[in-house]
Structure 1
Amino acid sequence: MAAIHVLDNYYLAITFLITVAYQLFHFAIAFSLKFDKLTDWAGGTNFVLLAILTLSFSENRGDARNIVVSVFMMAWAARLSGFLLFRILKTGKDDRFDDKRDKFWSFLGFWVFQMLWVWTCSLPVTISNSPKVTQFRQPGFGTGCDIAGIVLFAIGFIMESVSDVQKYRFRSVHGNDGEVCDVGFFAWTRHPNYFGEILIQFAIFTIAVAPAANNYVRGGPSAALYASILGPIFLTSLLMFLSGLPLQERPGAKKRYEKGIKWPEYERYLRRTSILIPFPPQLYEKMPVILKRTVFLEFPLYVFDPAKHADQSKVQANSAEEGRVRPSDEQGLRS
C-alpha cells in the first residue's frame, strides 16, 4: 500500500502540529479546572497517538520493523501514562505544580516543554515510518540492530515497570516515615526507573536505524534516521540534567539531613548504591570516588556535602526540637 504524504515527507510537521494541538487542549482543561490528573496522561497518550498515526500513514505499515518500533513506543507510553494516572488518582494532586497551577504562563511553560519532549522523543518512530525512509527496500527483520534493540527494550521495560511497582508498594507500606527504599532494583541503583526509560528509548532508536545501518537506506533519509538519536539523547539529558536527578539527588539528601530523616541510613545508601547504572552495592561502596564521579555518572552537581549545602541553623533547630544534639557532618559525603 502506498504511503500517505502529509505536509512533508518525514511527517515532522504533522506530528508537531498534532502534538501542539493535543497538549494545548489538555492544558486548557487543566488550567481552567486546576486539574493535575491530565498532565502525565496527556504526555503519554500523545506518544501513542503519534505512533498510531505515522504507522497508519506508512507504506510499511505491515512491515515487522515498523510495527515493532511503533508498538514498543506505544507499550512504553501506555504503561507509563497509565501508572502515573493511577498514582495521581491515589495522591490527589501533583506537588510539582503547587507554584504553577494558578499562574498561566508558568503552567503553560510546562506544557510547552512537554510538547517538545513528546515530539523529539518520537523522532525515531516518526522518521522510520515516513515516506522518505519507506521508499527504499528494507532489510528483513532480524538484523543485529533489531535483536540488540529487542534485548535492550526488554531489559529497560522490565526495569522501569517493576521498579515503579516496587517503589509504589514500598511507599504504600512506609508512607512518610522516611525509610530508605532499597528494595528490589533500588538495591542496585537509586533510579532504576530512569535507567530503564533511557534503555527503552535507545532500544527503539536501535531498531529504527537498522535500514540505514545495513546500507539499505542512503543519503538524506539515512542521515535523518541517524539524526533521530536526538530523541533518546534529549530524554537522557532531561533526566540527568534538568527534571530528573538534579531535582531529587542533592535536594533530597539536603532535606533528610536538615530534618534528621533517617540520615545515617540514607548516607550509607548513597555510599553503597550507584546513582543510575545498576551495580552490586558491595562493590560500589569500595569503588574509588573518581570512578563514581566519571564512569558511574555521579557528577558533582548531584553530590550533597553537609558542610557546603546544608543550612546548619535548620539542623540545630531540628535537633533542639527533638531534644538531642547531632553534630554536623563537616566531612560531607566524600564517597
Structure 2
Amino acid sequence: MAVYVLDKYNLAFTFLISLGWQALGFAIAFGLQIDTITDFWSAVNFFALALITLCLGGQYDGRNIAASTLVMIWAVRLGAWQLFRMLKMGGDKRFDEMRSKPLSLAGFWSLQLLWVWVVSLPAILLNSPATNIPSRGGIHLSFGTDKDIAGVILCGLGVLIEATADLQKYRFKCVTKALKGAIIDLGLWGWSRRPNYFGEILFWWGMYILCLSPAIDQRDSTTSASISHGGRAALIASVFSPLFTMVLLLFISGVPLAEKPTQEKYFLMSHGPDSDDGHNDLEPFGKWQRECDPWARMRAHRERTSLLLPLPPALYWPLPRFVKTWVLLDLPMYRFDEAKDGTKAIQAAERKKRAENNA
C-alpha cells in the first residue's frame, strides 16, 4: 500500500531527508575536520531516496524496480569507490583551504544537498503517487516500452563506463606506477580525456529516459486511464536531473577543476622554476607519447583525444577546431593558453617555490 507523505510528488519529504542527512554530514566533517566521507555520504543519500520512495510508493512495477535498482547500484558503486579512494589518499586536496572555514564548508555541503536531490528527481517522481497511483492521477503502464529499453541500456553503459574509467585510472596511478610525465591514455582514457564524467552524464540521461514513459505514452493500455497533467509535467520537468549533472561536471566541479590545472602542470614541467632539473626529459610511453618535452606531449594528447565523448584518436584528431570546441565541448575555458596563462602560471609557481624555501 502506498504511503502519502506531505505531497503527492514526494518532493518535500525527500528534500527534508536529504537536508537532514547532509546537515549531519557537515557537522561530522567540520567537527572532526575530515573530508573522507563527502562523496560516500552523498552516495548513501542517493541510495536512501531511491529505496525509500520505492517502498513508500508501494507499486513494484518493472519500471519502478528497474529505475530504483539502477540508482542504488550506481550509488553503491560510487560510494564504495570514493570511500576507498579517500581512505587510500588520506583526504581530498579540494578541502585544504575550506576545512576550517565553516561558511565555505557549509556552502559545499549545500551544493551536495542540491546535487543529490535534483539529480534523484526522475526516480523520486516515478515512485510518487502522482505518477503511479490512479487515485492520485497516476497510471500503471506496462514495463518494456522503447524508452524503457533505451533507458536501461544507457544506464547500464553509463555505470560500466564510469566504473571502468575509475579502475583504469587507479591502476595507472597506483598499480603500474607509470613513468613521470606519462599521460593516461590506456583503455577508455585513450579515447576520452574524461570518460568517468561521460559515464556519469550518460547514466543520468538514461535514468531520465527510463522514467519518462508514463509522461509520453500517458495512457494505460488495459484501463485506458491517462496520467494527470501534473504528473506528466513533473516527469518531463525531471530533465533538470541530467541537465544539472552536465552543468555541475562541465562548469562547476568536474572538468574545470581537472582539465586546465592538469595542462598547467605539464606546462610548468617544461617552463616552470624546476624545468631545468631534468623534469622535461621524458621517456616514451605507450603507443602515442614520444615527445620528450612535457608541454609538447600534453598539447599533442589534447589535440588527438576527445574531451568527453569517447572517439578513436584517428577519427578525432582531423576534426575541425569548431567541431571539437562547440560540438564535442572542448571549450576554451578548459584549455591552458600558453600566451595568455603562461606568464601568470610561472610567476605563481616561482612565488610558491620561494615560500617553500623560506619556510
Same fold (TM over 0.5): yes
- Number of the residue aligned with 2:159: 157
Q: Which of 223, 240, 243 is equivalent to 2:250?
A: 240
CA shift for structure 1 position 38: 1.1
Query: Quick check: 1:101–1:107 contact (8 Å CA) kept in 2?
Result: yes
- Number of the residue aligned with 2:4: 5
Determine the C-alpha separation between the residues in 1 that align with 2:209 and 2:19: 27
Determine the C-alpha separation between the residues in 1 that align with 2:324 and 2:214: 37
- Number of the residue aligned with 1:69: 67
Determine the C-alpha separation between the residues in 2 that align with 1:204 and 1:57: 20
TM-score (structure 1 length as normaliser): 0.91
CA shift for structure 1 position 259: 2.7
**Mapping of residues 315-334 of structure 1, within 5 Å:** none
Query: Quick check: 1:48–1:73 contact (8 Å CA) kept in 2?
Result: yes
Query: Quick check: 2:122–2:241 contact (8 Å CA) kept in 1?
Result: yes
- Number of the residue aligned with 2:21: 22
Q: Which string of whole-angstrom CA distances, capped at 9 and with x for unpartnered residues, describes residues 160-179 of structure 1?
A: 00010000000113278332
Determine the C-alpha separation between the residues in 2 that align with 1:225 and 1:310: 47
User: What residue identity is the alignment partner of 1:224?
Assistant: A
Determine the C-alpha separation between the residues in 1 that align with 2:98 and 2:85: 20
Q: Which string of whole-angstrom CA distances, capped at 9 and with x for unpartnered residues, describes residues 61-87 of structure 1?
A: x21110110011111111011101001
- Number of the residue aligned with 2:273: none
Q: Which of 179, 184, 201 is equivalent to 2:182?
A: 179
**Mapping of residues 151-230 of structure 1, within 5 Å:** 151-172=153-174, 173-174=176-177, 177-216=180-219, 217-230=227-240
TM-score (structure 2 length as normaliser): 0.85
Query: Quick check: 1:40–1:85 contact (8 Å CA) kept in 2?
Result: yes
User: What residue identity is the alignment partner of 1:169?
Assistant: R
**Cα 1:31–1:268 shift into 2, 3 Å:** same
Determine the C-alpha separation between the residues in 2 that align with 1:110 and 1:133: 33
Q: How many residues align?
A: 317
Identity of aligned residues (%): 42
CA shift for structure 1 position 312: 6.6
Determine the C-alpha separation between the residues in 2 that align with 1:138 and 1:301: 46
Between 280-289 and 158-167, report the one with greater CA deviation.
Answer: 280-289
Determine the C-alpha separation between the residues in 2 that align with 1:44 and 1:241: 21
CA shift for structure 1 position 313: 7.7
Query: Quick check: 1:258–1:312 contact (8 Å CA) kept in 2?
Result: no
Determine the C-alpha separation between the residues in 1 that align with 2:99 and 2:265: 24
User: What residue identity is the alignment partner of 2:241?
Assistant: G
Q: Does 1:42 align with 2:52?
A: no
Alignment RMSD: 1.8
Q: Does 1:273 align with 2:271?
A: no
Structure 1 runs not aligned, ≥5 long:
322-335
Query: Quick check: 2:264–2:345 contact (8 Å CA) kept in 1?
Result: no
Determine the C-alpha separation between the residues in 1 that align with 2:131 and 2:322: 44
Structure 2 runs not aligned, ≥5 long:
220-226, 271-279, 281-293, 354-359
- Number of the residue aligned with 1:293: 325
